[in-house]
Structure 1
Amino acid sequence: MKSVYLESPNNIKIKEVEKPVRKENEALIKIKSVGICGSDIGAYRGVNPLVSYPRIIGHELAGEVVEIGENSKGIKAGDKVIIDPYIYCGKCYPCSIGRTNCCTDLKVLGVHIDGGMVEFFAHPSELLWKVPDNIPWEQVPAAEPLTIALHAIHRTKVTAGEHVVIIGAGAIGLLAALSAIAYNAVPILLDIVDERLSFANGIGIKHTINAMDKEAVEKIKQITNGRMAEVVIEASGSNAAIRNTLDYVSNAGRVALTGWPKKETSLPTNLFTMKEIDIRGSRTSAGEFEEALKLMSEGTVDVKSIISKVIKLEEVPEAVKELSEHPERYLKINALI
């Protein structure tokens, strides 16, 4: 079968590999659609120390079940499913309290182990979620980044009427803003690229601010009637943005750090105490797929707006190269197989 194969950093191609044979606890899935993620670009560039080579990439995956044994979710052959790509041990302390995304032996598809940009894929049956029929194949993979946005919403316990500053208008940031609207909160989206902010306005995100604007803090103060934002979600990974969360958040506010910075950030910890801020890491997701699929199926969160382009599997290597060289041109590129 065909696979998207990273021989080494900056060396990506379509390669024939063996079709998998499922284990007893696994399902065999005919992959129908995949999404290209920032982690795939990081693997291509060779900047993610967790990735070893060669590696088949891909963790935003949807398909049709070909074979499956008994499972607790009632999934059967022929079902349309999305794959939860975070394989956890189920035995460590985080797993014992339901924080499976923090598993001490977590295996992420396309990073620690081979991913699913292939024609057929075997995956644990319990890590599959049945997909409503009204979600088109090309949109299904977007449920995975939506779970990451929802996890940040959950980690900060966003409630109706609150203001949520979101830093970074990439796919995760936009989905976090749309999720905030779904929770009847008020998103305020920041980015350094005006075109992305204009795009956000076009999909219903009213409040946008260029993060380079010297009046950014004052503008947030005006929108929030002087309170500042009860919640700040950092989704860019920029060190400057991480620092700015402390200025944007209200007293007694909450901050979720979703972006992955490349180096340490120096922070004035006195503000943690003075404002009594709750600062929470927000890593991938844990149990959000069902909600993500429901929001998509009901049209509450329109993921179609963030899909810039739909291609074929054979075109993925060139698309990865283009995303690496020109990330500003696209939000999400998905592929149909």
Structure 2
Amino acid sequence: MQAIVLHGKQDLRFNPNHRTPKPGPGEVLLRITYSSICQTDIEMWQHGMIFTKNREPRILGHEAAGIIEALGKGVSSIQVGTRVAIENVRTCGACFFCRKDTSQLCDNGRNFGFTDDGGLAEYGVWPADLCIPLPANVTNEEAPLAEPTSVAVHAVENANITTDSSAAIIGCGVVGLATLQVLRNAGATVIAIDPREQSLAIAKQVGATEVLNPTKTDPALALPEITNGHGPDVIIETAGGARNCTECSAVGTKRRQGSHRRIQPPGSNLEFWTSASG
């Protein structure tokens, strides 16, 4: 099969004759239809496999979708030909965190496109129970966005959003825009903050109530004005930088009992202004 393989720092190679994997017990063979490129993939190309102890070579691509091509032994829950999105975290079900219903922190977790070969190839194998059938109204091209959208859903579910909540999103990349839409679907008003005018225009298109460019307007001053003097109920930072987090904390000083959520990759630094917690 054809595959794009990371061999090391800034060493990404196209292999037209990579070995096609075979599904083991409980697994399926997927014909990959689409695989998104995440910022994490770019960082692994730049720096190597920095998010896992497993080393190269590795096929990247953890945001993927495909069609079931073959079934491994014992698989009866899904049929050949089914279009699916991939839940990319494979957990053990037995460790401390899995038993506490926090399996995303699994001590023995494996990840499609990190510890295991991912979706930047013609085929991939993955457990059948982590392949989610797609509804007819979701296209193959849209399906890989299930992964970043699930990140957004998790963040919003933990923010206790109600129909009268106000929220500010710092960062309007893929995850930020997904979070914005989930917040709007939950009934919140949303202020989108980003220094890129193009990103703010998209944010407005997908439902932002207000948009702010921090290079032109100080969010710490503007947000209270937009939210009747109190500041937003929740601030969600999705841009992934320590500076953004510090600015987020500063904005939070304008809202007593407000909450702050941060979506970040593992291994990144986290900074707060302790004086900003009200």
User: Normalised by the size of structure 1, how large is the TM-score?
Assistant: 0.76
- Cα deviation for residue 265 of structure 1 reads 4.1
SS in 2 for 1:251: coil
Q: Would you tell me which structure has more helix in proportion to its own residues?
A: 1
SS in 2 for 1:252: coil
- Whole-angstrom distance in 2 between the partners of 1:251 and 1:31: 48
- Cα deviation for residue 214 of structure 1 reads 5.0
Match of 1:194 among 197, 218, 240: 197
Residue 38 of structure 1 corresponds to: 39
2:250 matches 1:247: yes
- Cα deviation for residue 83 of structure 1 reads 0.8
Query: Which amino acid in 2 is paired with 1:50?
Result: F
Q: Deviations over 1:258-284 (max 9, x none)?
A: 023875344232443xx1xxxxxxxxx
Higher relative contact order (CA 8 A, sep 6+): 1
Residue 85 of structure 1 corresponds to: 88
SS in 1 for 2:80: coil
- After superposition, residues 225-244 of structure 1 pair within 5 angstroms as 225-244=228-247
Residue 10 of structure 2 corresponds to: 10
How many residue pairs end up in the alignment? 272
- Cα deviation for residue 64 of structure 1 reads 1.0
Match of 1:219 among 218, 222, 225: 222
- Cα deviation for residue 236 of structure 1 reads 0.7
The answer on whether the counterparts of 1:161 and 1:185 sit within 8 Å (CA) in structure 2 is: yes
- Whole-angstrom distance in 2 between the partners of 1:3 and 1:149: 29
Q: Deviations over 1:235-293 (max 9, x none)?
A: 01111211122233322122111023875344232443xx1xxxxxxxxxxxxxxxxxx
Match of 1:259 among 236, 256, 264: 264
- Whole-angstrom distance in 1 between the partners of 2:24 and 2:49: 29
- After superposition, residues 272-283 of structure 1 pair within 5 angstroms as 272=277, 275=278
2:33 matches 1:28: no
Q: Deviations over 1:200-229 (max 9, x none)?
A: 223332311113345311211011111111
Residue 19 of structure 1 corresponds to: 20
Q: Deviations over 1:109-132 (max 9, x none)?
A: 222232122212110111111100
The answer on whether the counterparts of 1:56 and 1:110 sit within 8 Å (CA) in structure 2 is: yes
- After superposition, residues 1-337 of structure 1 pair within 5 angstroms as 1-15=1-15, 16-46=17-47, 49-51=50-52, 52-68=55-71, 70=74, 74-249=77-252, 250-260=255-265, 264-272=269-277, 275=278
- Cα deviation for residue 171 of structure 1 reads 0.5
Q: 1:261/1:61 Cα in 2 relative to 1: closer, same or farther (>3 Å)?
A: closer
The answer on whether the counterparts of 2:34 and 2:140 sit within 8 Å (CA) in structure 1 is: yes
Query: Which amino acid in 1 is paired with 2:47?
Result: G
Kindly, what percent of the aligned residue pairs are identical? 26
Q: 1:30/1:167 Cα in 2 relative to 1: closer, same or farther (>3 Å)?
A: same
After the TM superposition, which of the residue ranges 6-15 and 243-252 deviates more from structure 2?
243-252
- Cα deviation for residue 13 of structure 1 reads 2.3
- Whole-angstrom distance in 1 between the partners of 2:153 and 2:132: 16
The answer on whether the counterparts of 1:239 and 1:261 sit within 8 Å (CA) in structure 2 is: no
- Whole-angstrom distance in 2 between the partners of 1:214 and 1:191: 11
Q: 1:93/1:191 Cα in 2 relative to 1: closer, same or farther (>3 Å)?
A: same
Query: Which amino acid in 2 is paired with 1:189?
Result: A
- Whole-angstrom distance in 1 between the partners of 2:49 and 2:23: 29
- Whole-angstrom distance in 2 between the partners of 1:227 and 1:155: 21
SS in 2 for 1:118: coil
SS in 1 for 2:140: coil
Residue 332 of structure 1 corresponds to: none
SS in 2 for 1:175: helix
SS in 1 for 2:182: helix
Structure 1 regions of 5+ residues with no counterpart? 276-337
Structure 2 regions of 5+ residues with no counterpart? none
- Whole-angstrom distance in 2 between the partners of 1:187 and 1:127: 32
Q: 1:211/1:108 Cα in 2 relative to 1: closer, same or farther (>3 Å)?
A: farther
Q: Aligned Cα RMSD in Å?
A: 1.9
- Whole-angstrom distance in 1 between the partners of 2:173 and 2:48: 19
- Cα deviation for residue 71 of structure 1 reads 5.3
- Whole-angstrom distance in 2 between the partners of 1:229 and 1:47: 38
